Each structure stands twice: as structure tokens, then as C-alpha cells.
Structure 1
Amino acid sequence: MAAEKSAEVGAHEFACVQCGADVSYEIGLSALQCPYCGTQNEIPVMADAVGEQDFRAVLAAGESAAGTYDVSTAKCVSCGAESTLDPNISHDSCAFCGVPVEAEAQSRRLIQPQALLPFAVPRDDARQSFKAWLASRWFAPNTLKRMGQLDGGLQGVFLPHWTYDTDCSTSYVGQRGIYYWVTEHYTTTDANGKSVRKSRQVRKTRWYPASGRVLNRFDDLLVAASHSLPTKYVEALEPWGLPELVAADRAYMAGFKTESYSVDLESGFAAAEQQMTGPIQQTIRADIGGDTQRILDYRVTYRDITFKHILLPVWISTYRFKERVFRIMVNARTGEVQGERPWSWLKITVTALVGIALVAVIAWAANQS
């Protein structure tokens, strides 16, 4: 994949080992490229750097036990998103809604990111993916498709996420259902208007008590740690390829924005619990057995809960259509596009009318035959 130079960062945050000039992250090379002498400053790979942290230990000691850091943030008064800015930037536009924002220095107790996925899709490729996505929206207005413009361009942003690992032990009480068939007699009226006696097979269920304990193991349950973007779109950007996570070296973030998390560690695990509900219930049903099952009650015990605070890369932009702002996002690892779009009610109405007319023609033809 072709390399692309990211925007410059604050003065001397990353200096070239050859000439001392500021360098920036080069997408596709996993290096910091010097724009003056061309030297590629390799980012060191840290072996076994992406580890898990003990969930309960961090909660007991306070989130600051996992590390704090001072950040210069820009909080959008329109959508509430809070992002970090490069040290030399005091004003910018919100990557999530396009509204101008102003940086303010403040110290916050935030768990430092442990790992991230570096940007792999260059900006130009992301822009082409957006245009292809827009062209495939049949019910989008034609004027929007012809425009295909991104208001303010694509901005590279790292979105905060939590991942959770845990072993679950679940005790349950339920019922096992076994099907059986009986012959049922009934009276009906035949074509001549006479009452006739008939029989049919009817399925019944015998229920038997069931109880037990099941085990589940969950690894890297992914939870978005902010609400700046609609959850359904963020989840639709998956998969990310989490096994390719690397240590959260700031060199990978050079030139990109990083959103601060607004969903705290404990709230994130509550969301992970919701993800675990379905698989746990499936395991219970498999343990009950039979033809069908009823789960009357169950209690889950979570053991050995660990977590990671990770950053995932997206290209985000806003585009304006008829005075409304719409957001699109591109997975900067795979090129997957998700986002909001306007609808052409003229196209929808015409399609509906054509469908109604087609049904009417088919019905008329059937009556003539």
C-alpha cells in the first residue's frame, strides 16, 4: 500500500535521528518520515508490550492507578466529543460534527492507552472508498452523488475502546422440553356443507426440571468508550483485527487526533455484560438439552476480569447537503465505510408507485387469463 505523510505535529515532539527536523508518521511504512532528508525513523517494536490489566484492582485503587496524563483537549459544545490536539494547535474543527472548537489545557485522570492499531489506509484511498459508498446508495439524491465532496476533508482520529477478558461461571435453573405427538379429532365442514369427522397429529411438549452450572470464556470483548458517533455505525466498522495491536507508542499518533474516552472502565464492562448474555444463554440451553428449553433463572459469576484501553483508527468527515451535516467514517485498517446519508423521497415515491403499478398489471393479466 502506498505510503502517505500525516500532518506535522508539535515542534520537536519527534525529531529525525539524522538531521533533527520534525518527523511525522508515514502510513504504510510503520515509520516516521523526515520531510527534509528523507530518513525513515523506525518505530521500535516492543515485544510482549500489549498486556492486560486487572479490572478489579484498578477499580479498587481508582482509575488513576492505571496511569494518568495531562492532555490539551478540545471539547465540542455541539456534540460533546472531546479530543486531544497537537501541542502547537489551539483551534480546530470537531472531527465528529465540523463545528469549530478551541483547545483548553486541563489535567484529567485518564487511563493511558495501552495499545492501538496504526493507520493503514491512506487518505486518498479512504476518499475513494467514500465516493464508491455514496455511489452505491441508490436512494441518495442525484445532486449529492454528483457532488461527492467531503466538507473540510477527511480527518484521522483514534477512537477509544475497551476490551475485556473474563471467565464466567453460571448456575441456572430451567426446564428441558421433550416433544411428543398425539392424535387429535375434530369436526369440520366439507365442500358439500356436511359435517365430517377428521383427525390430525398435534405436537405437545413434556417439561422436566433441569439445573446445573456452565462455564464460558470471553476474550477481547470490544466496547466503544465514547458516544460521539452512533454505536450502530461504529460496530458496523468491525472487524478490526485486534491480534495486530501494537503498543500505544505516541509516534503512531503523530499528526492524528485522539478522542478521550467518556465511557469509564466500569460502565464499559456493563456494556460487555450485555454482549455476554446471548452466548451464556446459548451455553445454558445446550447444557439443558432436549428438544426445547426454558431458562427460569441464572446467576453469573465473573472471574479473572482483565481489560485493555485501546485506540482504533478511523477517517472521519462531514459533508453538507441542504443545510444538514452528515457524518461518514472509514475503518482506517480495512477501508470499510459506514455513515449517515440523506434520502431522496422523490426516488422512494417513484419506486413505490412503479411497484404498485406493476402489481396492478400482474393482477389485471391474471384476471384476463
Structure 2
Amino acid sequence: MAENMGNTEEQVEVITAAQTEDVTDKKCPNCGATVVYDPETLSMTCPFCGYSRTLPKPEDNGQDVEELDFASAKNRESLDWGKEKKSLVCKNCGAETIMDSADTAQCCPYCGSTQVMPVDNDEDVVAPGGVVPFEITKEKAAQLFKGWMKGKLFAPNEAKKSCEAKNFSGIYLPYWTYDSQTTSPYQIRLGFDSKDKDGNVTTTYRTYTGIYERFIDDETVYASKKTTNRFIKAASVFDFSKLRKYSPEFIAGFLAERYTVGLDEGWEIAKTQIKSTLNSEISSMEKKKHKADRVDKLTFNTAYSKVTYKYVLAPIWIANFKFKEKLYNIVINGQTGQIKGEAPVSPIKVAVAIILAIIAIIVVYALLNN
């Protein structure tokens, strides 16, 4: 795929943004305890004395999440997270997370291992430009889990009654989003079927050419290689139209996974996704336009211009529960409440379902024959 944008160097001096002065004060002004972000009230709250400070709504602060120019990215990236942070790495699964320097982590939120160690890394960690805030509280997540378990048809009744999710960890996942104008000269070969009086089908092929222009808005790439939990991607469908400008208050009391897919690598992944989208759209458009029966072949080259990007964070809850000495993992979308995970299965319920299905098939077969 062709590109008409400037190439970027990996080793370029990064300028720290000095404009971010609204550093999070995580101490309660009343009792001195640590305050955290409350998704339900959209405020900073103290769990001990009840102190609360409401954060400004998007329409109040008038700040949109800035789209950054890709070609000059390395000279504009901000390293300022608004408060001193530290990086942690899990020696078991390799996941890297970022948290406030004063906070502590007893175990890895992904695999549950206690082999969590602080890491000294000379590599600069780019600060996010935007955040999709948590809308689901920990209490709400626990309620959603109970409803999810009750809805599992083949789960043992004992599990439905007794299982409780534990070790809820609120984590912000890293994402790159890309915008770009695309121009794609293409050539497509379409097939047209015709049938003779004997029912034999003959296909005639015709070739067409054209130029397809499309603006790509917020092509999203999950910026992590370390996470192996298969349920995370399944549960991570977010509404990025609710993106808020990054403020350290939003991640107070939560972890943020460190990105392991860089900006350039993310763009290569995004282009692969974009190519798939363009392939589908051009094929559908031309097939409908010419009333063809099939697409035989499509080739196109795409030029990208006015490429911009955002580095953003989006929320999930990770938890686990134990049933008969086996540990089960669940992931809950921190914005929508969507749940993905595994649940125990009752062999008896499965066997009964199979028997009932066989009986139903026999009955239907008998009725049809009669």
C-alpha cells in the first residue's frame, strides 16, 4: 500500500509538555486520606469522610481531545501524566502497568501472580491525550456478574447461588486511534451469470476501474502485546465519542496498562484494518452499481494523507471467582458493562440437553413421515 506521508524516525528528541499544571491532589483536604475517582458521581471522593469534588463536564471545560499530526508526532508527544508515576511488570505474564508512585499493587490484575516488581525503564512513557472514563462502579460490576452467572444455562445451580467475583481490578487499556484521508485507485473484475433454457449457468466477466475516496475516522488499535487474557478484546468495544481530555483525576485509584505497541507499529496495524474495510466497501459498491453476481478480483493501492492520531485509555474491570478449586476469569467493560468470561459447566445439564434434543429430532422426524 502506498503512502504519501513523511517517514518518521524512531529516535527523535521528545519534548515534555510543561503546560500541564493541574496536578492531581490525591489527599482529602478534610481527613488526609487518599481520594479516588467515582464513576457514578463523576467526582473525586474520599471513602472515609465522604468528601467529594465534582469534576467539570466536557461542555464545562470546552476542551476536546486533540488530534496530533502523525508526521511530526515525535516532537509533540507529551510525557506529562500530571502526577509522578511508576511502572510495574509482572514476572509471570509480562504485563506492564502504570500507577501513582504512592500506590501499591499486591498482585498482577491479569494473571493474579504476586510476582509484581517495580521496573526502572529509561524509555519515556507517552502520556495519553484522552480517556474514556469508568461509568461502571465496582459495586455495579459485581451486580452485573451475578446476573451474568444466573443467565448461564449450563452452569451448576450451586455455582449460580454461591459464586462471587473477587479481586476486582479497574484497569485502563491503551489504544491508538488514527484519522486519515484515503485515495484508492482500483481495478475490479465482476462476474455476471446467465442461464440457458436447460439451466446451465454461464458467467461473463467484465473489468472496471475507478478511484475510491474515503475519510477514516478513529481507526482503533489496541496497543498491547503483553495481555494474553482472551476475554479482554472480546469485551473491549467502547464508544470513543465519549472521550474526555486526559486528566490525572480520571485514573486516580486505577491502574493503566503501559502500551507495548508503538505509534508506528500501531499505524501499520491500522492500515491493515483500513485495507480490509476499503476492500469490502469497494466490492460492495461496484457489485451493487453494476448488478453483478460476484466479485472475481479486486486490486487497489491506497495513498494516505492528513494522518492524525490520538493515544487514549479505555476502562475494564478484571475479576475472578473460584468454584470447586478451579479459578475462572471474567472481564467487564468499564463503560458499557458488557461481560465476557468463562463459567463452570454442569455435565448433568449438558447430558439432559442432548437427550432432549435427540427426543425432539425423533418426534419431528416421526411427524414428518406420518
Q: Which TM-score band (shorter chain)? A: 0.7 to 0.9
Aligned partner of 1:94 among 102, 108, 117: 108
**2:254 is the alignment partner of 1:252:** no
Listed one character per residue, the Cα deviations across residues 296-333 of structure 1 (whole Å, up to 9, x for unaligned) are 42212222221111111112101223443322111222
Structure-2 change in CA distance of 1:350 and 1:250 (3 Å): same
Amino acid at match of 1:28: E
Match for residue 122 of structure 1? 137
Amino acid at match of 1:67: S
Listed one character per residue, the Cα deviations across residues 4-46 of structure 1 (whole Å, up to 9, x for unaligned) are xxxxxxxx94245677664322222222224566543233454
State the 1:131 CA deviation: 0.9
- 1:323-342 correspondence runs (5 A): 323-342=325-344
CA contact (8 A) 2:156 2:346 kept: yes
Structure-2 change in CA distance of 1:90 and 1:22 (3 Å): closer
- 1:1-369 correspondence runs (5 A): 13-16=25-28, 22-34=34-46, 38-44=50-56, 46-58=61-73, 61=74, 66-68=77-79, 71-107=85-121, 108-152=123-167, 154-184=168-198, 201-227=199-225, 228=227, 230=229, 233-238=232-237, 240-285=238-283, 286-287=285-286, 289-290=289-290, 291=292, 292-363=294-365, 369=370
CA distance in 1, matches of 2:234, 2:334: 14
Structure-2 change in CA distance of 1:93 and 1:217 (3 Å): same
Listed one character per residue, the Cα deviations across residues 152-198 of structure 1 (whole Å, up to 9, x for unaligned) are 3x2211111111111111122221333333223xxxxxxxxxxxxxx
Secondary structure of 2:221 counterpart? strand
Amino acid at match of 1:87: S
State the TM-score, normalizing by the size of structure 1.
0.80
CA distance in 2, matches of 1:42, 1:18: 16
Secondary structure of 1:66 counterpart? coil
Bigger Cα displacement from structure 2, 322-331 vs 358-367: 358-367
Structure-2 change in CA distance of 1:324 and 1:19 (3 Å): closer
Structure-2 change in CA distance of 1:312 and 1:88 (3 Å): same
Structure-2 change in CA distance of 1:120 and 1:366 (3 Å): closer
CA contact (8 A) 1:317 1:327 kept: yes
Amino acid at match of 2:186: Y
CA distance in 2, matches of 1:105, 1:79: 15
Secondary structure of 1:281 counterpart? helix
State the 1:246 CA deviation: 0.9
CA contact (8 A) 2:234 2:340 kept: no
Structure-2 change in CA distance of 1:229 and 1:310 (3 Å): farther
Bigger Cα displacement from structure 2, 355-364 vs 300-309: 355-364
CA contact (8 A) 2:177 2:221 kept: yes
State the 1:341 CA deviation: 2.7
Listed one character per residue, the Cα deviations across residues 95-139 of structure 1 (whole Å, up to 9, x for unaligned) are 112221434142432221111022222211111111111111112
CA contact (8 A) 1:50 1:115 kept: yes
CA contact (8 A) 1:151 1:317 kept: yes
Structure-2 change in CA distance of 1:14 and 1:366 (3 Å): closer
Bigger Cα displacement from structure 2, 310-319 vs 49-58: 49-58
CA contact (8 A) 1:317 1:329 kept: yes
Bigger Cα displacement from structure 2, 109-118 vs 324-333: 324-333
State the 1:51 CA deviation: 0.5
CA distance in 1, matches of 2:95, 2:119: 16
Amino acid at match of 1:204: T
Secondary structure of 2:190 counterpart? strand
Q: Name whichever structure is richer in strand by fraction.
A: 1
State the 1:274 CA deviation: 3.3
Higher Rg of the two aligned structures: 1
Secondary structure of 2:106 counterpart? strand
Secondary structure of 2:217 counterpart? strand
CA contact (8 A) 1:181 1:202 kept: yes
Structure-2 change in CA distance of 1:38 and 1:349 (3 Å): closer
Secondary structure of 2:94 counterpart? coil
Listed one character per residue, the Cα deviations across residues 320-354 of structure 1 (whole Å, up to 9, x for unaligned) are 23443322111222222112333334432332233
Q: How many residues align?
A: 335
CA contact (8 A) 2:235 2:333 kept: no
Structure-2 change in CA distance of 1:40 and 1:362 (3 Å): closer
Over the matched positions of the two proteins, sequence identity in percent amounts to 27
**Structure 2 unaligned regions, length at least 5:** 1-23
CA distance in 2, matches of 1:149, 1:181: 62
CA contact (8 A) 2:178 2:219 kept: yes
Secondary structure of 1:359 counterpart? helix
Listed one character per residue, the Cα deviations across residues 206-233 of structure 1 (whole Å, up to 9, x for unaligned) are 2122122111111112222224254664
State the 1:279 CA deviation: 2.6
